[in-house]
Every structure is written in C-alpha cells, then in structure tokens.
Amino acid sequence: MLDPYLYLFFHVLSHALLGAVIAYCFLPRDTWKDLMICLCSGALCGIIPDIFGDRSVAPWSHSILFTPLLALGIAYLTKLFYKKTSLKLIWGSSILSVLFGHLFLDYMGHDLPAFYPLSDKSYIMGAITLGDPWIWFPLIIGLGLSIFLRNRPKLPVITSILFIVVYLVFRIISKEIIEHKVQVQHPVPEKSYIIVEPDSHYEFPLDPRKWLEFRFRVISPHFSKGGDAGILGEKSDKLFWYDFYPVAFEINLSRGKYVLINSQDSKVVLSVTKEWKEAGSNFIEGKYNGNLLTYKETTNGQWEEVIPQ
C-alpha cells in the first residue's frame, strides 16, 4: 500500500500534470524558457483551487463560476513573461487548465460544489480515486515524449489526453454496468440506493490493476449490504456484509453521496444469515450479540420481532 502522504503527492501531481499538458497545447514553447513558463503556468492552474483551501473550507475556489477569475490572475502573471502572446489566448488556456485540470478531475473522484454560491449542492461521479496511476502515468509519458522529441510535437500530449478521456468513459460505463448488476442481484423490499465507488479509496494499492476495481453498497432505511465488484461487476454476486436495522435509519444526501444517519432508537443491528418470504410477508433472520433473532415485515413497512413459541 502507498503511504497516504505519497498518495496525496500523486493526487496533486495529477492536477498539475493535466493542467500543464492542456497549457502545452495552446501556449508558446519554442525555447526552453517559453516551455518552462508554459508548463509552470498550466501546472499552477491545475492546483490553484486547492491553494485557497479544501473545497469544504473554500467552496468558491472549486466553483466553475469563479474559474475565469482564478484563471485571470494566473494569466496576468504569465503575460509578464509572454510579451508577444495575447492575454486572451493565455486566459483561455488558463481557464481550460483550471476547469479540466482540477475541477473536472475532482468531479470524477469526489464531491464538487460546482455552482457555489448559487447552490450548495455537491456533484460527484465517483468513478476514480484521485491519485490514480492510470491518470498521471500516461500524462508523464505523453509530456516527456513531447518535450524531448525533435520539434516538441503536440501528438504525444494529445494522445495522453485522449487515453485519459477513453479511460474515464470506460470507468463511467463500468460503474453503470455494476449498478445494474447489483440492482438485480441484491434487491431489498423498500426504496434503496446503490453506491458504486473505486475499491482503492484510502487504501492506495501499489498494483495498478487494483485501481481498476470497484466496490458497492446497497443502503435503505432497514438494510445495508456491500462487497467487491471487480472491474465490470464480476465479483458483485458475493456480499462482504449484510446488516438489518429493525428500527429504520434516516438516509441523507451528504457531499454528493447517500449516507445512513443513525437514530437514537436504532440500537439493534442484525448480521443477516437468512431471508425468505412466507405467506406474502418478508422475514429476516440474523445474529445480534450472539443471539439469533427473527423479524417479520408488517403491512405498514415496519418490522417486528418474531418471538419463538
């Protein structure tokens, strides 16, 4: 496993590299001086939202409404070195580096207050873990080839960007496939929410293949279950855990994700061992504090314990 601080480094590196390769496509790079200015400007655009603080502390810096303003400051700074390049070109390049180098990548990995202050709602795709080697490694290869090949062509950089676009599309499609499989394989007798996310969150495996895998959770007021999903849902038929709450939990949308909120009355949690339907009613059997308990769903959606006769 990667050290968390090393993971944070790769997280920041991903933003900086994507911002830099976008700038490479638009800004002058004829001399080594111009090249360094181009890369530094793009990299700074890629990380500037985080310089002002975490999105929970400074949500405005992660809002697309403030992107032109953030980019304008860097564009003015870059213009001091690019005397013959128009400010409009530099500003446009800077906007793209902030928008795609940081905000879009954040949206693919975690919650983003995209329209703050007009809305406090956070948006998340949750298809990757930021720091994913399938993001930063192709960017390093593409940028390295573009810099050291004769005439510094754009093709390697553009190819690396296209690879990442295809990779992200693949991740989104995989996520949708897994959600559909889980919905079919693990139904619950009430409204539920399926959460599919990368299996590498807070674990940071050294094997890049592990970053391709997902895990899933199904949550509802009375149920919570989950397990590994693999890359395309090949492992989703097996559960790692399956819990049942006789007293319903609340479900809230927090930072773009559905989460269970514990109730004061929700003290009993059963580890489900068996479930069945009998005479039109749903039954759940599970262990709690070493005891085997059985609950039956009543007509109003509540659950009551079945006391053995």
CB 66 within 8 A of CB 60: yes
CA distance 276 to 253: 30
The pair of three-digit structure tokens given for residue 23, joined into one six-digit string? 């700038």
The pLDDT of residue 214 is 95
* pLDDT at residue 189, as a whole number: 86
Could you tell me the CA-to-CA distances from 257 to 126, 182, 183 in Å, in that order? 9, 17, 17
∠ CA 194-164-212, nearest 5°, is 45
Model's pTM, two decimal places? 0.89
- Token representation of residue 286: 């599970």
Burial of 107 (0-12, 13-18, 19+ CB in 10 A): buried
Report helix angle 32-51 to 87-98, nearest 10: 50
Per residue of the chain (309 residues), what is the pLDDT tens digit?
Answer: 556 677 788 899 999 999 999 999 999 998 999 999 999 999 999 999 999 988 888 899 999 999 999 999 999 999 999 989 999 999 999 999 999 999 999 999 989 999 999 998 999 999 998 889 999 999 999 999 999 988 888 999 999 999 999 999 999 999 999 999 999 999 988 899 999 999 876 566 778 888 899 999 999 999 999 999 999 999 999 999 999 999 888 888 777 777 888 765 667 899 999 999 988 889 999 999 989 999 999 877 789 999 876
Which residues sit opposite 195 in a β-bridge?
A: 217
> How far is 76 from 98, CA to CA, in rounded Å?
15
Report the alpha-carbon distance of residue 291 to residue 307 in Å, rounded.
13
- The whole-number pLDDT of residue 203 equals 62
Q: Side-chain half-sphere of 117: how many Cα atoms within 13 Å?
A: 2
Tokens of 188: 């619950």
Cα separation of 18 and 136, whole Å? 8
Question: What length is written for the chain?
Answer: 309
Tell me how far apart the alpha carbons of residues 284 and 9 are, in angstroms, rounded to a whole number: 46
pLDDT of residue 151: 82
